[in-house]
Amino acid sequence: MNNVHIVTLGCSKNEVDSSMMYSLLNKDRYRMVDDASDADILIVNTCGFIDAAKEESIDTILESVEYKNEGRCKKVLLSGCLAQRYPEELLKEIPEIDGIIGTGNINYINELLDRSMAGDLFVKTDNLNSAYIEGIKKEEVKKTEFVKISEGCNNNCSYCIIPSLRGKNRSRKIEDIYSEVQYLVSKGAREIILIAQNTTDYGIDLYSKYSLAKLIKEISKIEDLKWIRVLYLYPDHFTDELIEEFRTNEKLVKYVDMPLQHISDNVLNSMNRKTSKDHILKTLKNLRASIPEIVIRTTFIVGFPGESQEDFKELVDFIEEIKFDKLGVFEYSREEGTKADLLDNQIPDEVKKRRKDEIMEIQSDISNEILSKNLDKSLEVLIEEKIDENNYVGRTYMDAPEIDGVIYVESNRNLEIGDFVIVKVIDTLDYDLVGEAI
């Protein structure tokens, strides 16, 4: 029996892929372990989206090689986006790597393990547009679980390599997603987070119409499911039906994660985004008019090739006008193999950093202003961690795990992980809240 440990890097979609690999393991030959130092086989599920993610992946691979050189680890294997993108280069530069599977080849995990343990170098990065593997049942289910509703992306944004790493958009059937969610809830999950590269595109390939609202309606019928959260809702196909679902569905938390990337039409066109400033403004205003308590999170890219000072000022003015509840900023990362890599007027790094810092300073003030409005409010909180006898960490509907803030909860009674409790907000921090359980 060989011990297997997977190191997962990058986004929550990779977390789902790692869970699938664990579920597919031949349990007669392999068992998963929580500690890398206990592993006979280390699998690094890599990210290759931007330079910082690639550097983290390389560093983690090298750390895993050290385990192999110094500890009990016998094999170092790779999966994920960086492995899909650079298999030959990785094998050449890091010969200690013992095998690779790409993003469309998770179902080959046991062959990868068997072949590597037999001394063979197994590399498989084809099947980029393969069908999603259904019927996987996780052994350990958390209170919050991510469920991937589609794989790949049709957007072809000029700065993004993801379609080359994940293939075209392939939606899963509603009945298959329903079955997975039902299983997770039966095992104790209370919050389900639906993810995809672009969740608003869900269903167009299967049903010839955008079907995210229909999917949400269906899984809402699962009785013990408390919260449904949706990430990566692109604005171009954010339908009126979907807005109505957010307004009326009590299980669908009033939280919209909408990656906008920019607001200047000049930059949006250059990015090959399938939207416009007018459409974005209309969607945001419809959301806030229909759902006063809606929380909107977004991300922007600064320093995109050709982004003028006027384009940047337009973005700043937009952020100050809309006052997003949550906001992240990325400096444009030049990626080989993308159309944007070939554009003229690349922006100097120091300008990118200055623009990012300016926006984050503005957003800090906005965040403090928005958080202060929660003082003395009573909010429903999902308890996630116990600090000590009377103190806990939780999340409200306003915060997605790992990317947003938390609420620190004081309670004079014992709370269990996974409890939903009512908490009165008594203080605010830079991005977090402090409250007392009622």
pLDDT in tens, 55-95: 999 999 999 999 888 878 999 999 999 999 999 999 999 99
Angstrom distance (rounded) from CA 178 to CA 214: 11
Give pLDDT, residue 139: 84
- The residues of the chain scoring below 70 in pLDDT are none
Give pLDDT, residue 344: 92
pTM for the whole thing? Answer: 0.94
Query: What average pLDDT is seen over the chain?
Result: 95
344-370 core/surface letters (b: 16 or more CB in 10 A; e: else): eeebeeeebeebbebbeeebeebbeeb
Residue 91: count of CB within 10 angstroms of its CB? 18
Q: What is the largest CA-CA distance in the chain?
A: 63
Ligand-binding annotation for 47, yes or no, is yes
Contact predicate 385/393, CB 8 Å: yes
Ligand-binding annotation for 153, yes or no, is yes
Give pLDDT, residue 313: 98
Give pLDDT, residue 249: 98
- Closest among 95, 82, 83 to 121, alpha carbons compared: 95
Give pLDDT, residue 48: 84
Cα dist. 132→44, 105, 149, 358 in Å?
A: 21, 10, 9, 42
Ligand-binding annotation for 73, yes or no, is no
Structure-block tokens of residue 224: 């013990």
Give pLDDT, residue 67: 87
For 378-400, how does the pLDDT look when each residue is reduced to its tens digit (9 = 90+)? 999 999 999 998 999 999 999 99
Angstrom distance (rounded) from CA 80 to CA 17: 8
